A and B are shown apart, each in its own frame.
Chain A
Amino acid sequence: MSDDGIRLLGPDGKRVAHPTYSGDADPGELRALYRDMALARRLDTEGVTLQRQGELALWPSLLGQEAAQVGSVRALREGDRVFPSYREHAVALARGVDPLALFRLFRGVDHGAWDPDAHDVHLYTLVIGSQTLHATGYAHGLTKDGSDAAVIAYFGDGATSQGDVAEAFNFAAVYDAPIVFFCQNNQFAISEPNERQTRVPLHQRAQGFGFPGVRVDGNDVLAVRAVTRAALEHVRSGAGPFLIEAYTYRMGAHTTSDDPTRYRDAAEVERWRAKDPLLRLDRLLRAEHAADDAFFAEVEAEGEALAARIREGVRGMPAPRAEELFDHVYAEENSLVERERAEFAAYQAAFEEV
């Protein structure tokens, strides 16, 4: 096993044998995984571009993490619940969340207003690591309900420094909550490198809490899928939580407000570029004759269409009504909120169009 973790598909596009995990997939599955990753990457590029045009307040790029996200989300069953952080665009897209919903959040039109029940994808959580607690509670609830669904909670290497994550690990372990903790170790907590986050490899953290943890090559979509499948089986069986450390690399900036050239060197980025998740699957698909040029052209065209839809959708997004502030404070009517709404309306009425 390399330092990058369990691997079934090398950067050269060649399969790697593993005693426990299998990368078996029929050509259709391989193509679907590629398509998921390619569309996510195109969506992400558009996010960065729209931010640079002043259309978005912020965009956190997933570039480089496509395999970690697609491999894991495609291991889920219907009814399994996803708790993302804020970079899981490939996960949301694969699960069928309207991509424009993500863009509304990063444009500041709403605070993330998709229905979490519609696709079993919880809202993005921008507070670092707190979603692991929500996810653990939800997973514990599933046990109480007698459901056989599982939960996957996404977080980053930086979040492992948060108390919330340690609390979630402990609670989930003590109550055997059916949850997979999926840590995308993209090497940087904004500008802080791994060595300033942890003394031990992150997957080893689980041991201290009494549950298994493994590292998987996060740029290998087949390995991520296989390991996540096994982890889900484990948590569904009532054996308690499971930690996956998907070892990957954030190729872009932390967000569009960040400049990674200030804290990491170009040579390192180049080393990771050689491990690109799409490139290796591209190579495998061609080597195994599972896809031809027409397929790649088709995916590219689909990506362009998605980008165009996003572009138009974002540029045409109406500004929110100021009154919406009051709409979702409480599920039911609240007298204080209603009074404030009335005061605000009166204030607004003090102006008139001329």
Chain B
Amino acid sequence: MSHWEPKIVSFLCNWCSYGAADLAGVSRMEYPPNIRVIRIPCTGRMSAKFILAAFRQGADGVWVSG
């Protein structure tokens, strides 16, 4: 398990968190590359089915932000 790295699927709101993730890049911040971002129009669009589907695909964590 020493080399185990989690896989994180994140759902980011187009209007806030997705923009914040862009700004993190503009500010040249660094974070681990384990995350895969899916842009959604609003967290209102979020469905429990998406979270379950992500876990079924082997995600170790799901992050919804908006």
Bind each other: no
